Amino acid sequence: MSGTGAWLMNGYDLGLPLEIDFGVSAETEKVRVNGTKTQSETTTSDVTTFKVSFFKEFSNEQEQLEFRQQMEQFQNGVNFMPYCLETNQHAQEFHEGLVNLTSVDMPREGGKIGFLKYDAEFDFLGHRSEFVGYTQFRAVDVLGEWENWNSYRRLEIYYPPNATFHSDPPYGTIETEDGKVEYRVDPSRNAISYQGAMGAERVGIKAFQGNVQLFSPYFNIGAGFSVSNGNFKIIWDDEGNPEYYVWHDNKWMTYHSKRPDFTWHGYDRDGSGNVINEVTYLSKTAVRRKLQLKRISPEYIEIEQEYQHSDGAITAIQWFLGRAKNYVQIRARILNRNLDWFTTTHYIKRDMVESYTINNGTQLISDTTKITQAITKSPSFYVTLNKYTINGGSVGYVNPDRDVVNGNIETNTNGGYVQMLTRHSWNVGANIWSQPVTFFQGTNSVSAREQAAGFVVKADSQVIHRSHVY
């Protein structure tokens, strides 16, 4: 049957294939070939490579620029994961196969903006149905000051949608933009394996700068950058401020009326070791901002934002976001001064908040609520929402610090929000990250968030195909 339609790689339109240069090769120099079948086998682990000439049309120059950037991202993201190729009746031998992009040749021709004829070379690893997904992970301890902090914390590993399990069956499910995602609490070993879900659905972290989906940290990001794990989404606005969204009732929405704010309290020491030059820095008064994508994989992402202040101090916040989770871990540092403490502040819509809980005590929110308490009885500090169905519930923090840190709840009727602030007092030297505070939104199980806050889970994904690991 003749081919119809463009080729797609992880759902992205590569264009219409014009020529497919397909060949196979094997290293046979050291193999004895004498006609006997048992001895006439080639010993090679080389993948099949093939080259395709594509035709791609564009409506304007910006669209063509974004296409070039997207192809560059596909190639830079070779360590991210193989991509799923759909050939749409062209070259059935490659349809729904997993590929890596070896090279892309996109010549510029003066005056020709409306279309591009280009060549791409692929490594064909095999059909997606042949593969088994395999994810290794490691849990990095979050240090805490609480009794029993080490005894009740747990791992939460989220599988891709539609996976069939070979080890550690799922514990429960959570609704996300990608459908129902199953998760496992405390897997029995530092790896999980599954079949299926080896295509685009395996991408648990979706990062975009404009219309370009990122598969590697090699890209300039800034205003307009967005990252989503299917449940928790962050978008940086035109002024470089993060906005939080949650997957709620099958759509993206926000519980917040303002962007979050951060503060850092820094100091120096004189020659005798005395504390001098104590200054509190505010994110909203920073003179410059810089956004950086540090790490990205199908399982998690690390994003860092630096703030430069008028006295030359540089402060930073880092977000650590995992697949499908309804929480994000936030940590802070000052690059060129000592960090005494930092605060993270969120502004929840007033008409959505019913009550607040701090130190295991719950009170109804009123228009005159204004409290500040030392966090002494429970690491969880949160408000409960009155308007939620799927993925609703509570919004708050898990703070691993205690006794010397505060939780603040204050109603601002003019602004239409309830301010939530927690201080984290973790003294570290210049350029050293603090321990992370967990911010959660849209959870019905605060105790589960408390338990998951004890680890930062970093997963590295691999694909196993027969006896070869790619």
CB 340 within 8 A of CB 277: no
Q: What length does the chain have?
A: 470
* Cα distance between residue 429 and residue 336, in whole Å: 9
Task: Return the number of other C-beta atoms located less than 10 Å from residue 196's C-beta.
Answer: 19
CB 351 within 8 A of CB 415: no
Q: How confident is the model at residue 461 (pLDDT cuts 50, 70, 90)?
A: confident
**pLDDT greater than 70 at residue 98:** yes
Residue 77 tokens, joined: 């993201």
Q: What is the mean pLDDT of residues 335-343?
A: 96
Q: What is the mean pLDDT of residues 90-94?
A: 86
Residue 43 tokens, joined: 């010993």
* Cα distance between residue 254 and residue 429, in whole Å: 35
CA dist 347 → 191, 238, 331, 440, 450 (Å):
38, 19, 19, 13, 21
Q: How confident is the model at residue 1 (pLDDT cuts 50, 70, 90)?
A: very low
pLDDT of residue 112: 66
Q: Which of 368, 340, 344 is nearest to 436 (CA)?
A: 344
- 229-249 pLDDT tens trace: 999 999 999 988 999 999 988
* Cα distance between residue 349 and residue 233, in whole Å: 17
CB 263 within 8 A of CB 283: yes
* Cα distance between residue 263 and residue 277, in whole Å: 16
Going across the sheet that includes 206-209, the strands are 212-214, 206-209, 225-228, 232-236, 242-248, 251-253
Going across the sheet that includes 406-412, the strands are 275-282, 261-269, 338-349, 417-424, 406-412, 370-374
**pLDDT greater than 90 at residue 437:** yes
pLDDT of residue 389: 58
β-pairing, 212-214 vs 179-185, is: unpaired
3-state helix, strand, coil in the chain (%, to 5): 10, 50, 40
CB 267 within 8 A of CB 173: no
- 358-403 pLDDT tens trace: 999 999 999 999 999 999 999 999 999 987 655 568 999 999 999 9
pLDDT of residue 399: 97
**Which residue in the block uniquely carries the two structure tokens 């950037």?**
69
CB 407 within 8 A of CB 418: no
pLDDT of residue 252: 95
pLDDT of residue 25: 64
* Cα distance between residue 78 and residue 101, in whole Å: 7
Q: What is the mean pLDDT of residues 124-145?
A: 90
pLDDT of residue 89: 75
- Burial (CB < 10 A; 0-12, 13-18, 19+), residue 464, is middle
pLDDT of residue 30: 52
Q: Which residues contact 411 (CB under 8 A, 6 or more apart)?
A: 350, 365, 366, 367, 368, 369, 370, 417, 418, 419
Q: How confident is the model at residue 261 (pLDDT cuts 50, 70, 90)?
A: very high
DSSP 8-state assignment for residue 149 = H
Instruction: Find the range with the poorest average confidence among 59-68, 171-180, 187-196, 255-264.
Output: 187-196
Question: pLDDT: is 253 or 89 the higher one?
Answer: 253
* Cα distance between residue 434 and residue 330, in whole Å: 9
**pLDDT greater than 80 at residue 262:** yes
**pLDDT greater than 60 at residue 6:** yes
Q: How confident is the model at residue 28 (pLDDT cuts 50, 70, 90)?
A: low
Instruction: Identify residue 56 by its one-letter amino acid code.
Output: K
- 270-311 pLDDT tens trace: 888 899 999 999 999 999 999 999 999 999 999 999 999 999
pLDDT of residue 39: 46
* Cα distance between residue 168 and residue 442, in whole Å: 26
Q: Which of 106, 109, 126 is nearest to 48 (CA)?
A: 126
**Partners of 118 in the beta sheet?**
54
Q: How confident is the model at residue 168 (pLDDT cuts 50, 70, 90)?
A: confident
pLDDT of residue 23: 75
